[in-house]
């Protein structure tokens, strides 16, 4: 109703310019008055009495009373039974409306609606302007509806937002969370996902547009949003009247949500719009002033046109809820991201750096220094006995202890302890280089919503020497990831992240000085062999000479010959030898494990 009244107000601008001395009256419902208040082209507003909506006798009485005004021209834009009756009783010589076989006899001139828009204004605008053809020789092709706010209304809205904690220097988005009814409301969980994307891309402040009877449904949408998103939503900040709502809307960068009156009001205020159409609403008619930049809309028909081949939209109202289920946010996510691009946040999304430790006193200070850019540094210590815990306490945000069982278990326990959604997990013998730090910061300023984790290559060193080959050349690990989408696979050693979503790749690499001395390398490999023995117990059958001779030899041959370890010189020979030795020890320890010995 509000959208209809606002859109039809364009006729007054055209008529006033053509007939400046004419007196123009507008008959509207009382609840729509606010959108045409202060319109300079309307001389008089007549409110349609509520009793006339419910009672035919009251409607006829009102129509007869209105006829005493002796209007010269009646333009019936509404073209429904109530307006047909009012037009019938009018004494106007010129009566104009849309062509309908059952009501044509009431009017002196009827206009057939066009079904294909010729301008970006859309059919709702173009068909209304056609009603002026009997009165104006050169009807304007396009007139945009306008809402007129006073300076005091605008200033009052600014102060209202400031008082409620909003920052007018940062983006504010109004979300049309609900339509006028269930058949015009995007599903609640889908809408919450849309809001999550908006906040993730822009870090904007969010206002909800809903009416009091919709409070519970709006609350459900809020509750379904991610906790981080909820921090951006000013749920209780809304206009107490339609004029105050318009004032608040005028301070927003855009409105995003269900098609309806709020979208049309935003366009009349020159506020950007992103409209989600109900599957049964004709987008061709109501996608007014669409330019794919300032005003953008999406419809199920855009993505699944085959649904509409046999039936036009208006016949699918009864199927709207089922059709809505098909219309997932994934269909238009990229379109929404493009719309939000001008408002992309330049502030880095917060991140927690996790550092697992166990007797790493020689590494702890340097590794913490390399992740100082993180918002939280969380050290997870395995009850070190060399002073690692004590040294980390004043350097990290938080240091927690847990008895070590195996790597995947330790890391999976640590991840939920992180305060922030994005996590950078760095082992104590790794360092985040300045180049990698810069790349991570840039990514977290505007995280790709389609990616939940990133592979990071490693620059491996052995006893201080750079290893170029030996099977370590293309070494990469997932270390930057979203807390709620990733978990380490349950393995005792060589565990890796299992990501529930797309994984990207970073260009820069971690510095990894894995073994500073030969003794430490042997010690670590011996420990790994025990852990590997537990992993291999389930998938290894009877132990034979194949395991104790051929597999160790193959381990050496693969690293030293096939993977060009010989090109790393003595370091490559050492790595190849130790790799073969570790495989041998793995099966020795598996044999001991099965014998119940150590």
Condensed to tens digits (0 to 9), the pLDDT of residues 263-273 reads 999 999 999 99
Q: Name which of 55-64, 163-172, 571-580 the model is least confident about.
A: 571-580
Share of the chain above pLDDT 70, in %: 93
CA dist 93 and 17 (Å) reads 22
> If pLDDT is split at 50, 70 and 90, which confidence band does 6 have?
very high
Condensed to tens digits (0 to 9), the pLDDT of residues 539-564 reads 777 888 888 888 888 878 887 788 77
**pLDDT at residue 272, rounded to an integer:** 97
> If pLDDT is split at 50, 70 and 90, which confidence band does 117 have?
confident
Residue 3 above 70 pLDDT? yes
CA dist 323 and 184 (Å) reads 11
Residue 51 above 90 pLDDT? yes
156 phi and psi angles, rounded to 5 deg: -60, -40
Residue 48 above 60 pLDDT? yes
**Contact between 451 and 478 (Cβ < 8 Å):** no
212 phi and psi angles, rounded to 5 deg: -50, -40
448 phi and psi angles, rounded to 5 deg: -70, 115
- The DSSP call for residue 112 is P
Q: Other CB atoms closer than 10 Å to residue 507's CB: what's the count?
A: 9
- The DSSP call for residue 383 is -
- In the chain, the largest separation of any two C-alpha atoms, in whole Å, equals 111
**Contact between 480 and 422 (Cβ < 8 Å):** yes
Residue 268 tokens read as 């009349």
167 phi and psi angles, rounded to 5 deg: -105, 115
Condensed to tens digits (0 to 9), the pLDDT of residues 385-444 reads 999 999 999 999 999 999 998 889 999 999 999 999 999 999 999 999 989 998 998 888
> If pLDDT is split at 50, 70 and 90, which confidence band does 334 have?
confident
208, with CB counted inside 10 A (0-12, 13-18, 19+), is buried
* 63 Cβ contact list (under 8 Å, min separation 6): 85, 86, 88, 89, 90
CA dist 43 and 541 (Å) reads 93
371 phi and psi angles, rounded to 5 deg: -115, 20
Q: Name which of 20-29, 183-192, 249-258, 576-585 the model is least confident about.
A: 576-585
> If pLDDT is split at 50, 70 and 90, which confidence band does 347 have?
low
CA dist 167 and 171 (Å) reads 8
* 460 Cβ contact list (under 8 Å, min separation 6): 466, 467, 472, 475, 512, 514
In angstroms, what CA-CA distances link 161 with 150, 250, 254?
Answer: 17, 11, 16
pTM higher than 0.85: no
In this structure, is the dihedral angle defined by the CA atoms of residues 197, 201, 203 and 205, taken in order, positive or negative? negative
DSSP characters over 446-457:
S--TTEEEEEEE
Residue 86 above 80 pLDDT? yes
**pLDDT at residue 516, rounded to an integer:** 60
User: SS3 of 393, please?
Assistant: coil
Residue with tokens 């100082």: 372
Go through the domains of the chain in sequence order and give each one's CATH number: 2-130 (3.40.50.2000), 151-343 (3.40.50.2000), 351-511 (3.90.550.10), 518-595 (no CATH)
User: SS3 of 250, please?
Assistant: coil
Condensed to tens digits (0 to 9), the pLDDT of residues 588-598 reads 888 887 777 55
293, with CB counted inside 10 A (0-12, 13-18, 19+), is exposed
**pLDDT at residue 287, rounded to an integer:** 83
Condensed to tens digits (0 to 9), the pLDDT of residues 180-222 reads 999 999 999 999 999 999 998 888 999 999 989 999 999 999 9
DSSP characters over 348-379:
PPPEEEEEEESS-TTTHHHHHHHTTTSSEEEE
Return mean pLDDT, the chain: 90
112-133 burial: b if 16+ Cβ within 10 Å, else e: eeeeebeeebbbbbbbbbbbbe
In angstroms, what CA-CA distances link 245 with 258, 272, 318?
Answer: 16, 16, 32
- The DSSP call for residue 233 is B
């Amino acid at each position: 109703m509000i959208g209809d009244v606002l859109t039809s107000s364009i006729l007054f601008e055209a008529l006033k310019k053509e007939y400046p001395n004419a007196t123009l009256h507008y008959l509207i419902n009382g609840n729509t008055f606010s959108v045409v208040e202060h319109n300079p082209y309307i001389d008089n507003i007549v409110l349609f009495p509520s009793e006339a909506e419910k009672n035919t006798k009251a409607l006829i009485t009102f129509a007869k009373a209105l006829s005493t005004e002796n209007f010269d021209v009646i333009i019936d834009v509404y073209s429904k039974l109530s307006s047909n009756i009012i037009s019938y009783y009018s004494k106007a010589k010129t009566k104009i409306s849309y062509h309908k076989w059952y009501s044509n006899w009431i009017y002196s001139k009827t206009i057939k609606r066009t079904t294909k828009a010729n301008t970006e204004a859309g059919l709702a605008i173009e068909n209304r302007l056609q009603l002026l053809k009997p009165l104006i020789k050169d009807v304007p092709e396009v007139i945009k509806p306008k809402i007129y706010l006073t300076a005091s209304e605008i200033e009052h809205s600014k102060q209202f937002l400031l008082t409620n904690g909003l920052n007018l220097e940062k983006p504010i988005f109004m979300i049309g969370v609900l339509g006028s009814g269930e058949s015009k409301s995007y599903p609640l969980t889908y809408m919450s996902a849309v809001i999550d994307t908006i906040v993730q891309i822009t870090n904007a402040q969010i206002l909800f547009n809903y009416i009091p009877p919709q409070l519970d449904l709006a609350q459900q949408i809020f509750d379904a949003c991610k906790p981080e998103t909820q921090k951006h939503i000013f749920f209780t900040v809304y206009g107490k009247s339609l004029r105050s709502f318009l004032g608040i809307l005028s301070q927003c960068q855009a409105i995003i949500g269900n098609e309806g009156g709020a979208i049309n009001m935003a366009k009349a205020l020159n506020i950007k719009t992103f409209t989600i159409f109900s599957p049964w609403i004709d987008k061709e008619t109501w996608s007014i002033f669409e330019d794919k930049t300032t005003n953008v809309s999406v419809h199920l028909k855009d993505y699944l046109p085959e649904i509409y081949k046999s039936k036009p939209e208006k016949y699918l109202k009864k199927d709207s809820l089922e059709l809505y289920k098909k219309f997932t946010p994934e269909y238009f996510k990229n379109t929404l991201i493009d719309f939000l691009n001008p408002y992309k946040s330049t502030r880095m999304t917060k991140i927690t750096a996790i550092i697992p430790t166990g007797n790493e006193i020689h590494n702890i200070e340097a590794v913490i220094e390399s992740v100082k850019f993180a918002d939280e540094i969380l050290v997870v210590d395995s009850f070190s006995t060399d002073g690692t815990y004590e040294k980390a306490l004043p350097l990290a945000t938080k240091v927690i202890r847990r008895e070590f069982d195996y790597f995947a278990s330790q890391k999976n326990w640590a991840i939920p302890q992180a305060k922030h959604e994005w996590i950078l997990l760095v082992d104590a013998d790794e360092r985040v280089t300045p180049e990698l730090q810069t790349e991570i910061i840039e990514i977290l300023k505007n995280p790709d919503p389609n990616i939940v984790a990133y592979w990071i290559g490693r620059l491996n060193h052995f006893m201080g020497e750079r290893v170029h080959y030996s099977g370590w050349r293309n070494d990469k690990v997932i270390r930057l990831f979203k807390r709620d989408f990733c978990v380490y696979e349950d393995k005792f050693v060589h565990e890796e992240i299992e990501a529930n979503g797309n994984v990207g790749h970073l260009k820069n690499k971690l510095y990894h000085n894995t073994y500073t001395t030969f003794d430490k390398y042997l010690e670590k490999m011996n420990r790994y062999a025990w852990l590997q023995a537990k992993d291999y117990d389930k998938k290894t059958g009877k132990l034979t000479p194949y395991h104790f001779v051929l597999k160790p030899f193959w381990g050496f041959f693969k690293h030293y010959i096939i993977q060009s370890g010989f090109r790393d010189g003595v370091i490559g020979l050492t790595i190849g030898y130790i790799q073969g030795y570790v495989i041998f020890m793995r099966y020795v320890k598996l044999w001991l494990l099965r014998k119940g010995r150590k």
